[in-house]
Amino acid sequence: TQLLEQSPQFLSIQEGENLTVYCNSSSVFSSLQWYRQEPGEGPVLLVTVVTGGEVKKLKRLTFQFGDARKDSSLHITAAQPGDTGLYLCAGQETSGSRLTFGEGTQLTVNP
């Protein structure tokens, strides 16, 4: 089973600040997905990155897949209180359809 290390586990910042969340593995994934999960709900997909070196932007969120497809980052610019939530990375293994999740980053953006 492949492992994904996500950091930081907790992040508390002020509105307007920038932040980056990291997802690292020693294994190669066929794709990597970022989810956001609200309390009492299931994860909701934000983005999927597939190609090594790929960068995707979703408004103030920028997602990057490492060249070797072993790591990824989520960068949020000018964070807002509405960005508060649990962010999860998940890698799709090269053999099969299962997703391996990171432990999540609980982000709190204070007004």
Partner 1 sequence: EPEVTQTPSHQVTQMGQEVILRCVPISNHLYFYWYRQILGQKVEFLVSFYNNEISEKSEIFDDQFSVERPDGSNFTLKIRSTKLEDSAMYFCATQNTGELFFGEGSRLTVL
Residues engaged in binding partner 1 (CB under 8 A): 1, 33, 40-45, 48, 88, 90, 96-104
Closest CB to partner 1 among 15 and 57? 57
Give the whole-angstrom CA distance, residue 4 versus residue 38: 21
We find the least distance from the C-beta atom of residue 109 to partner 1, in angstroms, to be 22
CB of 3 to partner 1, least distance (A): 10
With beta carbons less than 8 A apart as the criterion, state whether 88 and 43 touch: yes
Would you say 36 and 88 are in contact if contact means Cβ atoms under 8 Å apart?
Answer: yes
- Closest by alpha carbon to 49, among 39, 61, 37? 61
Nearer to partner 1, 45 or 68 (CB): 45
Q: Rounded to the nearest whole angstrom, what is the least distance from the CB of residue 104 to partner 1 in the complex? A: 7
